Amino acid sequence: MSTSIKNICCIGAGYVGGPSMAVIAAHCPNLQINVVDRNKDRIDAWNSISLDDLPVYEPGLKTIISRFRGINLHFSIDIEKHISEADMVFISVNTPTKVKGIGAGQASDLKWIESCARQIGTYAKGSTIIVEKSTLPVKTASTIKTILESYVLGNNTDESKNKTFSILSNPEFLAEGTAVEDLENPDRVLIGGEDKNSILVLKDIYLKWVDEEKILTTDLWSSELSKLISNAFLAQRISSINSISALCEVTEANINNVSKAVGMDKRIGKYFLNSGPGFGGSCFKKDISNLIYICNHYGLSEVAAYWEQVILINKWQQKRITRIIVDKLFGTISEKKITVLGFAFKPNTNDTRDSPAIHICNDLLEEGCFLSIYDPKVNENQIKKELSQSENSNSLDISTSLYEAAKGSDAIIILTDWEEFFNIDFKKLSTIMRAPSWIFDSRDVVDQEIAKNFGFKVWKLGNG
Ligand code: NAD
Ligand code: UDX
């Protein structure tokens, strides 16, 4: 029999911590859930009166927050208090790629995980179940365990002697833009651990809304590793289809027809076969890089080289798009105005982490053009921050409407498939751009026959 719990603390109020705890709160009225973060601005934003100021934009999230915030879902910077009161602590902090030192550019920087383990070791009382929700290198649970043990062993106070910890791995598979939907109806919930009772306690929470057959329990290491491998497989499909998009362009084939034909094979499946400007987001590149690092660490250099190609093709696809734009615009875009539509790494999110738009905009700026950028959800400060490394970062302007952005430009490049871009008014556009006007569509949103009828020259990715 599992022991019931009353208080959950989640460390990390980010894209995963906020939505995942909101959905647990919605299904478990008997649990008090405190999401804590050391970033006060973020916590203030989660507590903001206007639900339009929440730090994470996700369809459906506002409604859940409005119903459960202050009832059984709370956001706080009082980390010490909420860890000490918790029966279960989720670790949902960032695990970015190391930027310097050993493993820079590949290994995960686990300093935030270590700081969580130390906070839990210091403040937890009695028996606490620790749940790894962050994406972690395989074997991280053993590091957390070692750190936690140091707060118990050799520590002779009564309070320390009474502390016990059980560690579970429960990776999160949500995708941004569909986070609430993915959390409400997951393909699977994965729980890895050693202690059967702790596994049951966590499983009981998910059973409130997830079918039992979708809840998979495994050992710790398989669970930790499965998360990295899921992301690696998804990213691999994108690089595979993107590599073929280039082949379609030179053979007069059409990437959509190829994807459809290939994806109709049940063994392959139709999902994740959309070609585009390469994958972005905070996860794929980071997690594959980490996988490559781990493989090299264990001497599996051929395996590492295999996965390295997924990242190389992704970079190549982005460079290739800039080369095509320059080529089509008579070999130079210097002093031309280019409009970029979409800056988020995918639609329905305001997240720009590792967005293909960052790399492509930097390359375009390097060619000397003036960029005019419009995204329905990413604000001006965020776009400017992402492009601030460019030497030419003053050659850009951020607009609040598609048509304002397009005024006087020689070309439009569509980098995110926001709904709004499927309904472009080409008649209006044709009167405000400079001819010959180009549309470069990297996301298959434009009907090229309609656009051509209004005098546009159109390039579509993967369309020969
Ligand atoms: P995030 O950067 O949005 O949020 C992490 C938060 O943790 C930050 O607000 C930070 O201030 C806080 N934090 C870090 N250390 C802390 C500490 N010691 N005490 C208190 N707060 C602390 O990150 P995210 O996108 O939510 O990702 C979290 C983890 O989930 C990562 O490992 C990521 O790989 C994984 N993941 C992310 C996604 C996604 O779509 N973003 C999906 C699945 C898994
Ligand atoms: C991903 C995983 O999907 C999710 O399971 C994991 O938990 C976190 O990482 P996310 O990065 O939020 O989620 O979005 P995803 O939908 O996977 O898209 C990632 C990138 O791939 C985006 O830039 C998207 O535009 C691109 N993509 C996706 C394609 O180019 N083609 C596709 O067919 C699918």
At 392 the pLDDT is: 85
Candidates 279, 315, 351, 414: which one to mutate for ligand 2, based on the most atoms within 8 Å of Cβ? 279
Task: Let me know if 116 is a catalytic residue.
Answer: no
- Measured CA to CA in angstroms, residue 142 lies from 36, 149, 354 at distances of 24, 10, 30
- Cα of 134 vs centre of ligand 1, distance in Å, is 7
At 1 the pLDDT is: 45
Split the chain (464 residues) into runs of 10 and give each run's mean pLDDT: 82 97 98 98 97 92 98 98 98 97 96 98 96 97 96 74 93 96 98 98 98 98 98 98 98 97 98 98 97 98 98 98 97 97 94 97 96 96 93 92 97 98 97 97 97 98 93
Intra-chain end-to-end CA distance of the chain, in Å = 62
Among the bound ligands, the one closest to the CA of 290: 1
The answer, yes or no, to whether any atom of ligand 2 lies below 6 A from the CB of 307, is no
At 2 the pLDDT is: 56
Q: Whose CA is nearest to atom 5 of ligand 2?
A: 173
Among the bound ligands, the one closest to the CA of 345: 2
Distance, CA of 172 to CA of 11 (rounded, Å): 14
At 154 the pLDDT is: 67
Q: Whose CA is nearest to atom 32 of ligand 1?
A: 134
Ligand 1 nearest-atom number relative to CA 18: 26
The answer, yes or no, to whether any atom of ligand 1 lies below 6 A from the CB of 290, is no
At 245 the pLDDT is: 98
Query: Which one is catalytic: 283, 295, 361, 369?
Result: 283
- Cα of 132 vs centre of ligand 1, distance in Å, is 11
At 266 the pLDDT is: 98
Q: Whose CA is nearest to atom 8 of ligand 2?
A: 175
Q: What's the predicted TM-score (pTM) here?
A: 0.95
The answer, yes or no, to whether any atom of ligand 2 lies below 6 A from the CB of 462, is no
Tokens standing for residue 315: 């970079």
